[in-house]
Amino acid sequence: MKNKTFQFTFVLALVLLVNVLKAQNAVKVEGLIDNFARTLSSKPDSALYYIKKATHQSKELHHSFLLSRCYYNLGYYYYMQKDLARSKYYTDLSFPFAVQSQNDKIVALNYNQLGLIYRDRSNYNKALEYFLKSLRIAEKNKLNRNTSVALHNLGYLYE
């Protein structure tokens, strides 16, 4: 009986240790994402390094929430570089992870990003469709910043 109790305690301790290590690694990934955002305008090459590293670590962690953010940010990076094909590729990659992890903010941002891509490709009907999807999700989830961004982009599109 003592042996079974020891085995159970050992397994429980091991599971707790793994969870603590995963949480610590997730915090490191969050820091890399923050570094990406902080350096995107001033040092885009550094920003790309940070977000690629964050993406790699998120994959190792099998962390859907972080992967949704990383792929969205890669899409945003390439949008800022005017590489619409890569931007769309990474934005599309972000969707399943955002839905799986119920990351409504990233879902709304992804639709907004697609709206921008299609607007820049002069496909205004498709852009309108995606901006409206972004707006609906943002309003439904009370994501005020996302609502503001979607409304701004809709206004710019109509202008």
DSSP codes of every residue in 89-135? HHHHHHHHHHHHTT-HHHHHHHHHHHHHHHHHTT-HHHHHHHHHHHH
The pLDDT, as a whole number, for residue 159 is 85
Output the CA–CA distances (angstroms, integers) from residue 18 to 30, 57, 121, in the order listed. 18, 15, 46
Looking at residue 40, its amino acid is L
Q: What is the rounded average pLDDT of the residues 25-52?
A: 92
27 φ, ψ (degrees, to nearest 5):
-65, -40
CB half-sphere exposure, 146, CA atoms < 13 A: 25
pLDDT, tens digit (0-9, with 9 covering 90-100), for 89-129:
999 999 999 999 999 999 999 999 999 999 999 999 999 99
Q: What is the rounded average pLDDT of the residues 18-34?
A: 74
The pLDDT, as a whole number, for residue 27 is 78
- The span from the CA of 47 to the CA of 37, in Å, is 7
The pLDDT, as a whole number, for residue 134 is 98
Selection from 114, 109, 108, 119 nearest residue 157 by Cα: 119
Q: Taking the mean position of all CA atoms in its chain, how far away is CA 9?
A: 37
- The span from the CA of 101 to the CA of 88, in Å, is 20
Is 13's pLDDT higher than 70?
A: no
Contact 36, 44 (CB under 8 A): no
